[in-house]
């Protein structure tokens, strides 16, 4: 069967054939032989039908061997149906699906039965919506994370990786604040009942649903791109880099770490010109919950971070 998401896994990924925008490759390089890192492991991915989850699933099914079970947990039945069509059961028996919401404590506990590794990626993510719907973000990003931690401890999960965002560093909006709380909830659980719990903090993923790059792609035919502020900038990485960083975190974590992917800093106006050189720019103003620029780490975190090629590691005290 031909995989359909390979473009997401390119470590150096271009946004369009007309764009020369790319992100430098990060360590480690992709393996050329089947990897046994996850052999005999049962893995749960909450929010697994999202863009990162799908890219991770493809990478694992393509390059890893001996996985016992790969369980996708999400509330989107259509995306689960589409993923099953893409990865048919007769060919990928290890891939399983479970409908549910991380807000449902009992359902999350059921999902964690027999699980060795849990990747907690389920979250509400759009910052402006968080400002007008704060309690919805609290229910999913904070209480949902609490449900995940409780279930992991209850069911004897060995390793828990929480997927976070650079907006959790010195947050000014509701979304970043809820993700900071999510980080703290997971970190507090490390070491309890032999659980290894850690965080992977990622910058903006190129081409993810609702991202600025995806918006520019949709609007470039209008020849006018909305720019929140001419001096706004963000950090970016490709899906391939994010998946590699997740695999590195799973391999290197001993519990209590925050892994922070560096990404590439880029002005939004430069990104807009690379996607559509001929488009005009319309300044719309920063939206609620948005900052002019993001931080990957706070000053306090930077003071004790260990730097490696492409990422930092912040270890607990």
What are the per-10-residue average pLDDT scores of the chain (317 residues)? 40 34 37 76 97 95 95 97 96 97 98 98 95 98 98 98 97 96 98 97 87 88 93 93 96 97 94 93 90 93 95 91
Please identify which of the residues 41, 125, 167, 291 carries the catalytic annotation: 167
pLDDT attached to residue 95: 98
Q: What is the pLDDT of residue 214?
A: 86
pLDDT confidence of residue 278: 92
- Tell me which residue has tokens 């749960």: 44
pTM: 0.88
Can you give the pLDDT at residue 206? Answer: 86
What kind and span of H or E run contains 73? strand 69-74
What pLDDT is attached to residue 210?
74
Half-sphere exposure of 141 (CA within 13 A, CB side): 27
Question: Is residue 162 packed enough to be buried (19+ CB in 10 Å), middle (13-18) or exposed (0-12)?
Answer: buried
165 beta partners: 202
Based on the residue annotation, tell me whether 167 is a catalytic residue of this protein.
yes
Q: In the prediction, which pLDDT does 30 show?
A: 46
Looking at residue 33, its pLDDT comes to: 61
């Amino acid at each position: 069967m031909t995989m359909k998401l390979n473009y997401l896994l390119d470590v150096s990924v271009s946004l369009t054939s007309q764009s020369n925008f790319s992100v430098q490759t990060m360590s480690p390089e992709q393996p050329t032989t089947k990897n046994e890192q996850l052999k005999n492991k049962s893995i749960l991915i909450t929010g697994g039908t999202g863009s990162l989850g799908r890219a991770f699933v493809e990478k694992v099914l393509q390059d890893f061997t001996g996985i016992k079970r790969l369980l996708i947990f999400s509330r989107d039945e259509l995306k689960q149906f589409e993923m099953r069509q893409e990865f048919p059961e007769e060919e990928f028996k290890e891939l399983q699906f479970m409908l549910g919401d991380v807000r449902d404590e009992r359902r999350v506990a059921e999902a964690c039965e027999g699980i060795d590794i849990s990747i907690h990626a389920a979250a509400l993510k759009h910052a402006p919506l968080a400002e007008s719907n704060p309690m919805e973000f609290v229910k999913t990003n904070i209480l949902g994370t609490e449900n995940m931690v409780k279930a992991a401890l209850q069911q004897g999960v060995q390793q828990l990786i929480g997927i976070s965002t650079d907006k959790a560093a010195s947050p000014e909006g509701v979304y970043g604040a809820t993700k900071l709380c999510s980080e703290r909830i997971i970190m507090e659980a490390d070491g309890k009942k032999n659980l290894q719990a850690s965080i992977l903090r990622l910058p903006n993923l190129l081409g993810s649903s609702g991202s600025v790059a995806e918006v520019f792609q949709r609007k470039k035919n209008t020849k006018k791109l909305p720019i929140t502020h001419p001096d706004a900038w963000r950090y970016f990485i490709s899906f391939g880099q994010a998946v590699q960083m997740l695999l590195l975190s799973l391999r290197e974590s001993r519990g209590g770490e925050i892994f922070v992917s560096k990404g590439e800093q880029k002005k939004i106006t430069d990104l807009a010109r690379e996607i559509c050189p001929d488009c005009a720019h319309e300044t719309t103003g920063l939206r609620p919950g948005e900052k002019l620029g993001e931080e990957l780490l706070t000053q306090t975190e930077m003071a004790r971070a260990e730097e490696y090629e492409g990422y930092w590691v912040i270890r607990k005290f």
